[in-house]
Structures are given as C-alpha cells and as structure tokens.
Chain A
Amino acid sequence: MDQGRPRLPGGSQPVLEISGLSIEFDTPRGVARVVDDVSLSVRSGEIVGVIGESGSGKTLTALSVLGLLPKRARVRSGSIRLAGESLIGLPEARWRAIRGDRVAFIPQDALRALNPVLRVDTQVGEPLHLHRGTPWQAARRRAVDLLTAVHLREPAAQAKKYPHQFSGGMQQRAMIAMGLALEPQLLIADEPTTALDVTVQAQVLKLLREIRDTYGTSILFITHDLGVVAELCDRIYVMYAGAIVEEGPVRRIFARPRHPYSEALLRATPTARSVQAELVSIPGQIPLPSELPPGCRFVDRCSVAFDACRRDPPPFAIEAGHTARCWHCEPRP
C-alpha cells in the first residue's frame, strides 16, 4: 500500500517529521518570515533538542506541530508529519483530537499553565475525560497514579490540593503527569525547566529521561540552555533567526561545533571548569525577520565571515547526521 515511501526499519520510523517548514507573519511593514525552511525529525524514543535565542523561531516551530500558531501567523510552505500523517491543513476538530492525545505540550511556567480554581487531580485527569470520555471519578483516580509515576510525594493527598499550594517543581511534575495521561507519542517541552531552581531542574530532566526509557515517548525539547541540552538530548538542532544552522548528535556538536554561531553559543556558556574573567557574549543581536542580511543570516555577528558569506549557505554534511550551514564547512574539492 505504502509503496511510494520506503518504510524505515522499526524503531527509527520518525514520529515527527517536519520538512521545509516556513512560517510567515503579516506585519505593518510587510511579510516577516520567522521560520525559514526548517526541517527536523524526531524518531521513536529519541530526545531531540532545539536550541536558540529568543526570537529564533523555536517556539513557533513547536506550536506549529500543535496547530496553535498565533492568528497572524501562517504556514507558507513545508509539511509536518506525525507518524506519517500529514498535519497541515487539518480541520480544527482533527487538531483537537491530536492535541493532548498524540502530542502533549509542557509549557515553561507550570503555575501559570494550571487553572487556579481547579484541584490538581481534576486537571491531570482532564485529558482522559476529554479524549476518552473517562468518568470524572475514574479520571481523578488515574491522576493519582500519574502523579505517582512522576514521583510526587504523597500523591493521594497532594492531588486534592490547588496549584498555588504546590512548589515550582511539583507544579512542573503535575504538568508532566497531565502530558503523560494518554501516553502520547510525542512530548513537546518548551523550556520546562527555565523557571526552576537548578536542583529541581536536574530532577525534572531526570524524570523526562525516565519517561522516555519507560514509555518510549519521543521528546522535542525546546530550550536556550546548553547545559540542559548536554544532559538530556540525543540530537540537537541549533536555530538562528528562523533557520536551522547546525544539526547533529549532541556529543559531536559539543565536542566540535562547526557553525560559528554554535561555537559562540558554547563559548558564551559559563562552565564550572573554565575560569572566566568575565562572561563572554556574542556581539550584536539577533536580526529582525524583516531585516535579515543578504546571504548568511549570521554574517553581521560572525568573527570569521568572508566573501562567500554574501550568499546563503546550504547545509553541508560534515559526518553522518551532522550538518552545518556555513561556507567554512564546504567540502574542499
């Protein structure tokens, strides 16, 4: 039946496959392309990181997978496939069936993402009621199991509390429990640890890895924090000004970043080992989508820019599964 598309061997079938995705905004000053020709894939049981500064388009890319782009934004071109099924152009009712059931979203600020007037067990069990029609009582009982699975202490007692009675880490655990309710194929986490203390952060990351190991859930992890990426992800995509500039296995990129932007990002991350006199920063700031320089979008801030950078570089393969969009990576003839 499926002759057109060669099936990948089991286990490496991509759960999420975005290809050539471009998203545009209508602004008073014209059309702004905020996500430009982005392709990324998440295989079954894989944790994939997308790193970038604010304004790099990483959150919009994530929201497009849920069909929740802001009203002014629209997908210009490209495709999004969830386990082979094309998502773009689906009617709203089909989107609603996917959200929370097959794709769960974990937001940055868990407290603000929880309804302040509903008890935690009601909210954690809500997806069950919504998608499966589980009666409320059973959904709330299941919520306690889920809270146990995310290692909340005294889950039965805590389940009856209101979100504001939880600590930040507990709130994030509750959000993750809610995301797990229907055992989705894909979990999208948008900077879920940014609002947390470092120690709590580590616990939440450990929990996410455990979820992947237990349920085989694929995770798309959006962040600007390289430390978190190093700890959690299998592969990463580095985004800059709406485009992916480098992708590859996390170890390779950390050991040897090939795009000057990735390199600068790594250098700008303070580490315990290196004694830094002062914090390193990348000069300049991320260009507005309407004011992209011609050619390579990083050219204005790049310390190693040369003549070739006036043209937009294609992704050059460096090794298997590792590419960078920089003319310095062009294979020498």
Chain B
Amino acid sequence: MSAPTTAAVAAPRSTGRRVNWRRYRLLAIGGSLAALTLLSALFAHVIAPYSPYDLNVAEMLQGPSGAHWLGTDELGRDVLSRTIYAARISVEVAVVAVSVGLLGGTIIGIVSAYFGGLVDLALMRLMELLFSFPAILLAIVLMASLGTSILNAMVAIGIIFIPGFSRLARASTQAVLRQQYVEAARTVGMGDLRILVREILPNVIAPLLVEAAVAFAYAVLLESARSFLGLGAQPPEPSWGNMLNTGRGFMARDPWLGIVPGMAMFLCVLGFNLLGDGLRDLFDPHLRD
C-alpha cells in the first residue's frame, strides 16, 4: 500500500523508481569486463595461482587440468597465471598512453579553438601531420628514435592518440564557445584561463571520456601488436602479444596457448569498447529519460 505512494513521491517526473536496465546494459557489461582487466592487473600477485616465471619442464605443454586450469606452456609455466600477469603490461601501457593522449589532445584542442587564427592553423596542421602516419608505423618510428623501453612505448602510443583527442576537443570547444554562458562569464570579469577551466573544460569533457575508453582498447591492441612483433615486452615478461606469438607455433597441437591470451585480449578490448558506448549513451542528453 505504502510502497507505490513513496515511489510516486520520490520520483514525480518519471513513471517509476525502476532502474532502466536496458539503458545501462552496455555500461554494465563493458564496465564489468573493463573492471576485470583492471583488477587482474592491479592484483595479479594475489589472484594468480602460480608465479608467471617459474619453469617446470616436467609439466610442459599440459592441457587444461585441475592443477592448471588453462594448461601450461612450452616451458611448463601456468598459462592462466601468465595471462593474468600479462594484463599488467597492457593496462600500464594503456593508462599512460591514454593519459598522454587525453591531456595533450585536450589542451591542444581547447587552446586551438579558443584562440583561433594562427594558433589554430599551426596546431591543426601539426595534428594532421601526425594523423597522416599509420599508427603502428609511427609507433615503430618513434621507438626506433627514442629506444624500445616500455616508457617510450607508452609515450609513443600516447602521441598517436593526441590528434584524435585534439580534434574532438576542438570541435566541442567551438560549439561551447558559441554559447552565451561563455560571454556571460566575461561580463562577470573572468579572464581567459578561468573561462577555459571553469566554463569550457567541464562542458567538453564528456565526449573526451567516451573517446578515452575507446582509445584504451586501441592502446591495448597496439601494445599487443608490438609485443607480437617482438618490439614490446621481452620474454620472460608475459604479455598477451608475445604469448600469442609463442602460441602460434603450437596452434595445431596445443591450441590453448594461443587461444587463451587471444581471448583475454578480445574480452578486454570488447569491454572497453562497450564501456565507451555505454558512457556515450549515459552522457547523451537526448537519451536521458
């Protein structure tokens, strides 16, 4: 008797208090998969049943079993443990790369749109120059000139992301600049920097966060591609890319060696892409009820 009354009082504008799961479906699935990746990376030492480095030649190339759920590799290491530990390098690279791209791209995009004119012209041409290189090639060129350390890899991938973020930030800023509240901020006596930080940034950040989720997935793929080519994490350090490369040689007899890291990569990338879509729906005012 009292339940429907309180519901009506609590939410007078919507028809009920029920959460619309269909709306949050993508966010929930994507968020869970993304969280799984992040937790694996953060707590690999707790979750993983074995050390990813311990060799055990007696148990090499075993299929999935009670002791080794996903089998062992050609040196007898536990595949599940290595896959979990491998999330570390992917997440590490992606977090730094996306941060570099997001930060650099946002600053360049907003400054470009806000000041316009020559500043805009120069910055956007520079971005187009970066854009015109194929991503992998650019990453390899940057690493060839900077060295192949993991930090360089992260920065290289981050630089690849800058043009995309900067264009998005620039377009959003141009839309916001036409809004009266920016003009109104001036009438209250705000200066350029304060307008950029308080009026423009909060109003352009939503699409950039969506892009960040998608870029995260792409960074994981790029890192795996590099490791697969032998340019990234060096054995015995596990990474999905070099595990996949090793697994390639055993595809016919021991397929789990390739399938497991492949699946991990797939789920991670899928998760972050869905998270991006979910965030987009969440931020889109037209889809708000």
Contacts and interface: CB of A to CB of B under 8 A. Distances in A.
Interface of A: 66, 68, 95-101, 104-105, 107, 109, 112-118, 126-127, 130-131, 178
Nearest to B206: A117
A105 B203 CA distance: 23
A98 B189 contact: yes
Contacts of A130: 188-190, 194
B195 to A, nearest CB: 10
B187 A114 contact: no
B184 interface: yes
B179 A100 contact: no
Contacts of B66: none
A114 B184 contact: yes
A141 B241 CA distance: 56
A163 to B, nearest CB: 9
Contacts of B189: 95-101, 127, 130-131
A99 B203 contact: no
A99 B183 CA distance: 12
B180 A117 contact: no
A111 to B, nearest CB: 9
A285 B222 CA distance: 63
A126 B183 CA distance: 15
B105 to A, nearest CB: 20
B199 interface: yes
A68 B186 contact: yes
Contacts of A131: 189
B187 A117 contact: no
Contacts of A116: 181, 203
Q: Report the 8 A-B pairs with minimum CB-CB distance, sorted nearest first.
A: A100-B188, A105-B187, A99-B189, A100-B189, A113-B184, A112-B180, A117-B202, A96-B189
Interface string B191-224: 1001000110011000000000000000000000
A68 B186 CA distance: 8
Given A107-B180, A109-B180, A115 B198 contact: yes
Contact of A127 (B183, B188, B191): B188
Q: Which of B185, B189, B202 has the most CB of A within 10 A?
A: B189
B270 to A, nearest CB: 31
Contact of A99 (B180, B186, B194): B186
A194 to B, nearest CB: 13
B180 A115 contact: no
Contacts of B188: 99-100, 104-105, 126-127, 130, 178
Given A113-B183, A126-B188, A127-B189, 18 more contacts: A66-B187, A96-B189, A97-B189, A99-B188, A100-B188, A101-B189, A105-B187, A105-B188, A113-B180, A113-B184, A115-B181, A115-B185, A116-B181, A116-B203, A118-B198, A118-B202, A130-B189, A131-B189
Given A115-B198, A115-B199, A116-B203, A68 B184 contact: no
Which residue among B188, B191, B199, B203 has the maximum number of chain A CB atoms within 10 Å of its CB? B188
Contacts of B199: 115
25 contacts: A66-B186, A66-B187, A68-B186, A96-B189, A97-B189, A99-B187, A99-B188, A100-B187, A104-B187, A105-B187, A112-B179, A112-B181, A113-B180, A113-B181, A113-B183, A114-B181, A115-B181, A115-B203, A116-B203, A117-B202, A127-B189, A130-B189, A130-B190, A130-B194, A178-B188
A100 B194 CA distance: 15
Given A117-B202, A117-B203, A130-B194, A68 B181 contact: no
A99 B187 CA distance: 6
A68 B185 CA distance: 11
